[in-house]
Chains A and B, each alone.
Chain A
């Protein structure tokens, strides 16, 4: 960027596809939206699984067992689960790394308006980014709580149902989960719509559907998850 004489020739893109995608802002967004969609896919299934708590302890625990034996004998015990875990881990790492890089790029040396009047768009970027941080912390807590059982006070290996009830019997368990789920709801409300644009499927007509659809999916996922702690709190599940 020269102030007076512009003779610079812009560089031509000549990188291999994955590297080029990773390097460009649009490419990073594509990675974020694909990983986001993978996580959404997981969460829909996860939510559907969680809903089984309402069918009773036995059904839920056998579902957890089924998860671990799925695909046997082609896959070893917990094989499917581990495949999924790897996929999820890759997704979440790629998602977070992209998010952090894009955020740093967006705020680095970014001169700010001095009016102090927040612009509407600032709100969306703020909720996406802070929501992401909340989700990150939550996922760590959640795994320590219900998968490794490290922080769960009444943990009992092999009884996911009991562990789950134990979590939501504590006040902080409810607070942490419900707060995280609200953050998730917000994240998805914008995220799903944004992913459609990032992947280039948004058009004027389709966006009339995408906007409300994103809100709906976000709502269904959030409500579906929140139902569990509410169920425990109200004694429907115990």
Chain B
């Protein structure tokens, strides 16, 4: 399995910053050992933060408070609109306010296990430690978490967890957390520590003498190409789920920022680990532009079922209890409807493959609230899920209080991303990567309500502590647009834009994106196989070649041009898609969000191969063939076991 022709094997990569010693002390040790920046020097040091989501927004605000000069970027018209705003369900924290046996160690344990033993223990433990501070921080900012009548915070249990550790704000947790970070960011803008560049898209990373020193961005309103320098660059640009075209991500989510950095030498880790969310509203037709997630919290009270017989086309109400298959409760009695996402998604795919799916095209399963309504009363169900039910009705025209919802899995989150060390620094000095954009702490599968936790942990607490260790050596040499590296970076951006505009072909950007998404969903989606992936790589290459021959991008680069924005993003998705398939192809085991048809147990469960694959796959950009660098994973505290939720 060493060389299958799709990649080259390189040297192993090691996390130089990882502290050792007892796991519970590693984070405080690292903080103590890291160099500090003299407060007077902070004013002389500048940091670029690309992205204003939970990760970027919280990082920029905190760095600003610390006294650094921050330059913040987002492609939306306001930092408040970053995609984090869409998160519904909640955020985990090991507060143990419920006295139900939770602890930092349990959250750590659950996350490592939930990630199917493909995450770093040290990182995950730090995440669990910091989770506690996040809730304190957000409450102090005025984030309106749900509260009990006594005035204290309410929590709920969330996919895959047996303790109630998820804090929430109705179905709008992400929005409320993001607005908290956004407000802190705006406070720093007013204080003059942050310079905000909204409607700016980063299109290139500037690397000088081996250090990340700036970015090239396009002003999306005027089209002007714009360079910005700093002593360090932080990428917090979110996930790349939109490579599938249809996903629950916002339309603008892209891989451009991280992909450009990858092309400049940053390693891209585990690109194939994608999370498919089990509870989304099914596709209704070809016009569909995105998929809408229904919060996973619905699984707390809703019961998932399909008809026992294939091809049963009766209305759900006409199917008697005895002819329904509550398959999650049947197959996984211990966890029932609350099994982790990957398991719930695949189970849904399996029943649909058996012809037992419901709704248009048989691509859907029921999520039924009639029991919950009988048990708790309609008012209680409405209080908990009212806005989600409304949203469902608005989109589908069906009333979930009366007919069960139809749900189907959809791409939701990408565990892969740029490789970072314990300090969240990539292999390129001065380039830090936080939030969903890095390969993160979730291993091969992320537990529900943990992305918000990671984004805020990185932004509020981890990065501001670790970046000083790097910046203590600064400030670095002053740069101007005349520097050859800068000129090269700018030219590569303008050339690309010109190339895109020059094709002037006969197919729209979206038509390519849609087709690419189809290929990815078909062959690199919920189930992957050797044959399918090889086919996909061929198809992607052909389509990419066609893209550069036939794409039509109207208008010019010197204007507000949304087609051009999309074209640039899709061009990068093509390159990423290929790497995702190569990564999926080389990992012949099943783990977490990556399910290989060839690697399953007799009863169809995912089978890991710890002997061969207990590593992070960090890919170096190699032009023709990507180069694989492995980072070995060691488990001292949580011994790998085959995950079982039965």
**Measuring CB to CB, which residues of chain A are less than 8 angstroms from any residue of chain B?**
3-7, 9-10
Residues of B within 8 A of A10 (CB): 190
Assess whether B6 is interfacial by the CB under 8 Å rule.
no
- The answer to whether B192 touches A7 (Cβ under 8 A) is yes
- The answer to whether B196 touches A3 (Cβ under 8 A) is no
Assembly CA distance A198 to B112 (angstroms)? 56
The distance from the CB of A192 to the nearest CB of chain B, in whole angstroms, is 34
Residues of B within 8 A of A6 (CB): 189, 196, 198
Assembly CA distance A9 to B193 (angstroms)? 11
Assembly CA distance A10 to B192 (angstroms)? 11
Q: State which residues 178-231 of B face A: CB under 8 Å.
A: 189-192, 195-200, 219, 221-222
- The answer to whether B196 touches A9 (Cβ under 8 A) is no
- The answer to whether A9 touches B200 (Cβ under 8 A) is no
The distance from the CB of A1 to the nearest CB of chain B, in whole angstroms, is 12
Residues of B within 8 A of A7 (CB): 189, 192, 195-196
Chosen A-B contacts, 16 in total, with CB atoms closer than 8 Å, are A3-B199, A3-B221, A4-B198, A4-B200, A4-B219, A4-B221, A5-B196, A5-B197, A6-B189, A6-B196, A6-B198, A7-B189, A7-B192, A7-B195, A9-B192, A10-B190
Assembly CA distance A7 to B189 (angstroms)? 6
Assembly CA distance A3 to B189 (angstroms)? 15
- The answer to whether A9 touches B197 (Cβ under 8 A) is no
Residues of A within 8 A of B196 (CB): 5-7
B77's nearest neighbour on chain A, judged by CB, is: A3
The distance from the CB of B433 to the nearest CB of chain A, in whole angstroms, is 25
B219's nearest neighbour on chain A, judged by CB, is: A4
5 additional A-B residue pairs with CB within 8 Å, beyond A3-B199, A5-B196, A9-B190: A3-B221, A3-B222, A6-B196, A7-B196, A9-B192
Assembly CA distance A3 to B195 (angstroms)? 13
Residues of A within 8 A of B221 (CB): 3-4
- The answer to whether B195 touches A5 (Cβ under 8 A) is yes
Residues of B within 8 A of A5 (CB): 195-197
Residues of A within 8 A of B219 (CB): 4
Query: B75-112 CB contact bits vs A (8 Å, 1 = yes)?
Result: 00000000000000000000000000000000000000
The distance from the CB of B7 to the nearest CB of chain A, in whole angstroms, is 41
- The answer to whether A4 touches B199 (Cβ under 8 A) is yes
The distance from the CB of A4 to the nearest CB of chain B, in whole angstroms, is 5
The distance from the CB of A52 to the nearest CB of chain B, in whole angstroms, is 57
Q: State which residues 218-271 of B face A: CB under 8 Å.
A: 219, 221-222
Residues of A within 8 A of B198 (CB): 4, 6
User: How many residues of chain B get a CB closer than 8 Å to chain A's CBs?
Assistant: 13
Q: Which residue from B190, B191, B192, B197 sits with its C-beta under 8 Å from A4?
A: B197
B198's nearest neighbour on chain A, judged by CB, is: A6
Residues of A within 8 A of B191 (CB): 9
Assembly CA distance A70 to B7 (angstroms)? 104
The distance from the CB of A150 to the nearest CB of chain B, in whole angstroms, is 58
A9's nearest neighbour on chain B, judged by CB, is: B190
A3's nearest neighbour on chain B, judged by CB, is: B221
Assembly CA distance A205 to B305 (angstroms)? 44
The distance from the CB of A210 to the nearest CB of chain B, in whole angstroms, is 28
The distance from the CB of A133 to the nearest CB of chain B, in whole angstroms, is 40
Query: B120-161 CB contact bits vs A (8 Å, 1 = yes)?
Result: 000000000000000000000000000000000000000000
Closest 4 pairs (CB-CB, A-B): A6-B196, A3-B221, A7-B195, A4-B219
The distance from the CB of A129 to the nearest CB of chain B, in whole angstroms, is 33
The distance from the CB of A211 to the nearest CB of chain B, in whole angstroms, is 27
B195's nearest neighbour on chain A, judged by CB, is: A7
A5's nearest neighbour on chain B, judged by CB, is: B197
Assembly CA distance A162 to B61 (angstroms)? 76
Assembly CA distance A238 to B198 (angstroms)? 74
A4's nearest neighbour on chain B, judged by CB, is: B219
Residues of A within 8 A of B200 (CB): 4
- The answer to whether A4 touches B189 (Cβ under 8 A) is no
Assembly CA distance A5 to B73 (angstroms)? 10
Output the residue of A3, A4, A10 with the most chain B CB within 10 A.
A4
Assembly CA distance A4 to B222 (angstroms)? 9
Query: B470-488 CB contact bits vs A (8 Å, 1 = yes)?
Result: 0000000000000000000
Residues of B within 8 A of A4 (CB): 197-200, 219, 221-222
A6's nearest neighbour on chain B, judged by CB, is: B196
Residues of A within 8 A of B222 (CB): 3-4
Residues of B within 8 A of A9 (CB): 190-192
The distance from the CB of A101 to the nearest CB of chain B, in whole angstroms, is 28
Assembly CA distance A7 to B197 (angstroms)? 9
B71's nearest neighbour on chain A, judged by CB, is: A5
The distance from the CB of B215 to the nearest CB of chain A, in whole angstroms, is 15
B197's nearest neighbour on chain A, judged by CB, is: A5
A7's nearest neighbour on chain B, judged by CB, is: B195
Assembly CA distance A31 to B74 (angstroms)? 42
B190's nearest neighbour on chain A, judged by CB, is: A9
Assembly CA distance A222 to B195 (angstroms)? 58
Assembly CA distance A10 to B221 (angstroms)? 23
Assembly CA distance A194 to B609 (angstroms)? 71
The distance from the CB of A3 to the nearest CB of chain B, in whole angstroms, is 5
The distance from the CB of B491 to the nearest CB of chain A, in whole angstroms, is 22
The distance from the CB of B190 to the nearest CB of chain A, in whole angstroms, is 5
Assembly CA distance A7 to B196 (angstroms)? 7
Assembly CA distance A4 to B228 (angstroms)? 14
Assembly CA distance A108 to B117 (angstroms)? 64
Assembly CA distance A9 to B191 (angstroms)? 7
Residues of A within 8 A of B192 (CB): 7, 9
The distance from the CB of B176 to the nearest CB of chain A, in whole angstroms, is 22
The distance from the CB of B56 to the nearest CB of chain A, in whole angstroms, is 16
Assembly CA distance A6 to B194 (angstroms)? 9
Assembly CA distance A10 to B190 (angstroms)? 7
Assembly CA distance A6 to B185 (angstroms)? 12
Assembly CA distance A97 to B196 (angstroms)? 40
Assembly CA distance A10 to B198 (angstroms)? 18
B196's nearest neighbour on chain A, judged by CB, is: A6
Assembly CA distance A5 to B224 (angstroms)? 13
The distance from the CB of A12 to the nearest CB of chain B, in whole angstroms, is 10
The distance from the CB of B398 to the nearest CB of chain A, in whole angstroms, is 31
Residues of A within 8 A of B199 (CB): 3-4
Q: State which residues 424-440 of B face A: CB under 8 Å.
A: none
Residues of A within 8 A of B189 (CB): 6-7
Assembly CA distance A7 to B222 (angstroms)? 18
B194's nearest neighbour on chain A, judged by CB, is: A7
Assembly CA distance A4 to B196 (angstroms)? 8
Assembly CA distance A9 to B190 (angstroms)? 5
Query: B52-82 CB contact bits vs A (8 Å, 1 = yes)?
Result: 0000000000000000000000000000000
Assembly CA distance A3 to B78 (angstroms)? 11
B222's nearest neighbour on chain A, judged by CB, is: A4
Residues of A within 8 A of B197 (CB): 4-5
Assembly CA distance A5 to B222 (angstroms)? 12
Assembly CA distance A5 to B220 (angstroms)? 12
The distance from the CB of A174 to the nearest CB of chain B, in whole angstroms, is 55
Assembly CA distance A4 to B78 (angstroms)? 10
Assembly CA distance A34 to B189 (angstroms)? 38
The distance from the CB of A37 to the nearest CB of chain B, in whole angstroms, is 35
Assembly CA distance A6 to B197 (angstroms)? 7
